[in-house]
Amino acid sequence: MHRRDQVAANLAAVRARIERAGGDPGAITIVAVTKGQPAEACRAAVEAGLTVLGENRVQEALDKMDEVPGATWHLIGHLQTNKARHAGRFALVQSVDSVRLAEALAARGRTAALLEVNVAREPQKHGVAPEDAVATAAAVAGLVELRGLMGMGPASGDPRPAFAELRRLRDEAEQRLGRPLPVLSMGMSADLEAAVAEGSTMVRIGRALLGERGPHTA
């Protein structure tokens, strides 16, 4: 099977999972996570209808951008302040996790962003602490074009409580700011059903769409 056709079949399966979980596949943005995937796979994703691609590392994204026409790029991995100058290449930076980073982005121009919240409360994950999320959202909203919140489920166990908390924090941040924050980015290949059930508007899917990454990748 041609790679594009395989990705298209995988995309249909992901959309079916979203629908079974009670979501509207047409209303939930599917971000194809292309970390570790070659440009060929990225082009196949675009040809299959996946025009929003997500990268974890700035340099890997920059290396692929010119080779993959028709794609809209999101940065979904941790962004160091010294690489904020590259933020303008991304349609959305999903991983703003401090006022300091928001200030660095603001110094380079207006950036569309999500606030990353560590609702899993796991030390290996980035993101602001849940108890600081609403105040941080209010602070960064004056520096970047804040569109919503992003978070990851726990490494093990039921992810729904974490996703429910992220939705609640988003709602509280909306009340604090007095305006909508329409994007709730949560859910990956293994837990997208739980995320959709808790109100996700954007899922970040790698393996279920593009297969396993190559052995040479981290």
Mean pLDDT, the chain, integer = 95
pLDDT mean over 129-134: 98
Give pLDDT, residue 1: 64
In the chain, the percentage of residues whose pLDDT exceeds 90 is 94
Reported confidence tier of residue 111, pLDDT bands at 50, 70, 90: very high
Longest dimension (CA), the chain: 51
Contact, 185 vs 202, CB < 8 A? yes
Q: Is 124 exposed, middle or buried, given 0-12, 13-18 or 19+ CB atoms closer than 10 A?
A: exposed
> What are the pLDDT digits (tens) for 32-91?
999 999 999 999 999 999 999 999 999 999 999 999 999 999 999 999 999 999 999 999
Give pLDDT, residue 215: 44
- Identify the bridge partners of residue 55 per DSSP, sorted by sequence position: 75
Contact, 188 vs 206, CB < 8 A? yes
Query: DSSP characters for 76-139?
Result: -S---GGGGGGGGGSSEEEEE--HHHHHHHHTT---EEEEEB-TT--TTS-SB-GGGHHHHHHH
Return all residues near 195 (Cβ < 8 A) that are at least 6 apart. Answer: 153, 159, 163, 186, 187, 188, 203
Which pTM value belongs to this model?
0.94
Reported confidence tier of residue 214, pLDDT bands at 50, 70, 90: low
Domain locations in the chain as residue ranges: 3-210
CATH class of 3-210: alpha beta
pLDDT mean over 104-130: 95
Give pLDDT, residue 118: 98
DSSP strand pairing (145-150 vs 183-185): parallel
Contact, 200 vs 217, CB < 8 A? no
E runs forming strands in 40-144: 52-55, 72-75, 92-96, 112-116
Is 217 a residue whose pLDDT tops 50? no
